[in-house]
Each structure stands twice: as structure tokens, then as C-alpha cells.
Chain A
Amino acid sequence: MAAAVKSQVQLALGLPARLRTFLARYPPASILPTGTTPETYKTAYQEETPNPFLPTKHPVTGRLHDPKYSLRRQAELVKLAREHGVEELLPFTPKGTEVRLRKRVELGLRVKGTGVGQKVKGHKHERQLGIKMDKRRQAMLDMPDLIREWKKVGKRNWSKFPK
């Protein structure tokens, strides 16, 4: 038990100072000391804002207050945590990997034509490119026969000229 705690402490010391500070202020339920629950054990920061990543409603005025951490700082924290493999210790944030992936699936790349069942019209020459290439390919497949015929008939007697 003591050895496990020690190794966890070592791991925690390996984290960047920024993450360590954050986790000390907002410890998740999974790393609380044994015998305490999130209800009984709350830091002063958590008393004020349970999730510093979400906007909070003021109890008296009812106005929404901005999150304690801006979206930019949230994203930075998430990136740091992901690099150190401790993203699940952070509270819910719209910058988390899970939400990001869900949005990516939902919205696609946001580039027109990349989503499921989407198509872009394109320029006329782009639309006709396939037909043009097919014609060319067919003409090249027929070319040896055409040349053979032309050589047989001779250019003096050839009568099939294009329009």
C-alpha cells in the first residue's frame, strides 16, 4: 500500500508544475485520500467552482460567469495532460479528446464535399474530365488498328477525315 502511494507520488512529481498545481486545486475523486468522498473533501477552489472549465451561474444575480480557465488555457492543460497520460484526471471540458472526436464525427472536416453523401459541383472542365479521359483512353486503345488501316489504305486513298 505504502509502496503504491509512493509510486503514485513519484508519478505526480513527474508531471509539469502547471498540471500539478491544477490537480492540487481541483483533485478528481479518484485521487482523494482514502476514507474521504468528494462531498466531504473539497478544496477552497472546488467550493467556489466545482468545474473550473465550465461557465457558472451566480447564485444571487443569476448571471453567467466565465469559466475560471479560458478555452485556450483549457486546451493547453488538456494537451499537457494527454502527453503525460492523465487526461482522465481533469474535469469535463469541451476541449477534451472525447468531445473533440465526437464533434469531428458529427461535423466532418467542415470542408465542403468531405462529409458523408456530400458533393461539390466543381468547374465545367472538372465535371467533364472523366468523360474526356475515357474518350482519350478509348482512342488510344483503337490507335494501333487505326494506324494499321491507314497504312493499308494509304494516305492517297484515305477518305475518313474528322470534322
Chain B
Amino acid sequence: MAKKAKTRIINVRLLSMAMTGYFYTFTRPRTALPMSMIKYDPIIRRRVLFLEQKRKGNK
């Protein structure tokens, strides 16, 4: 049986680098570069760096 085709668009999680556990989710094309951006973290109430979480396995 043929393998199920991978979706072109994936959901990614951008994790706060302030170690609060806060995250934003975005969608991006699978082939694009991993995302990173400065956004607001409501837990410490500041704008901090958010980096994309590494995805597990072949997901």
C-alpha cells in the first residue's frame, strides 16, 4: 500500500525563550525555513524571542 502523502502545510509551535512555557502556533509550508520572531509573552508581560519547537520523529 502506498504511503500516505505528507501534507504541504504544517502547524508549528513557537515557544517563548523566557521559559514560561507560553507558545504561539502558526502554519507554514513544510519546506520553508523554521520560524522565529519576537512576540509578546503575557506571562512575563514583555516582548521576547520565540523560536520554533523541533518536531518529533517524522511528523
Chain A residues within 8 Å of B, Cβ to Cβ: 132, 135-136, 138-140, 143, 146-147, 150, 155-156, 158, 160-163
Contact count band on B: 10 to 19
Choose from B19, B20, B53 the contact partner of A161 (Cβ within 8 Å). B53
Cross-chain pair count, CB within 8 angstroms: 48
Residues of chain A within 8 A of B49, CB atoms compared: 143, 146-147, 150
Interchain CB contact under 8 A, B17 and A146: yes
Q: Whole-angstrom distance from the CB of A58 to the nearest CB of chain B?
A: 71
- Complex-state Cα separation, A150 to B33, whole angstroms: 15
Least CB distance from B5 to A in Å reads 26
Query: In this complex, which of B19, B20, B46 has the most chain A Cβ atoms within 10 angstroms of its Cβ?
Result: B19
Q: How far is the CB of B9 from chain A (nearest CB, A)?
A: 19
Beta-carbon nearest neighbor of B35 in chain A: A155
Contact call A136/B19, Cβ cutoff below 8 A: yes
Sample of 12 A–B contacts (CB below 8 Å): A136-B18, A136-B19, A140-B48, A147-B48, A155-B36, A155-B37, A156-B33, A158-B36, A158-B51, A161-B53, A162-B51, A162-B53
Known: A146-B17, A150-B36, A161-B34. A140 touches B53 (CB 8 A): no
Tell me whether B6 is interfacial, beta carbon within 8 Å. Answer: no
Give the CA-CA distance A158 to B17 in the complex, in Å.
14
Query: Contact check: which of B18, B19, B53 meets A163 at CB < 8 Å?
Result: B53
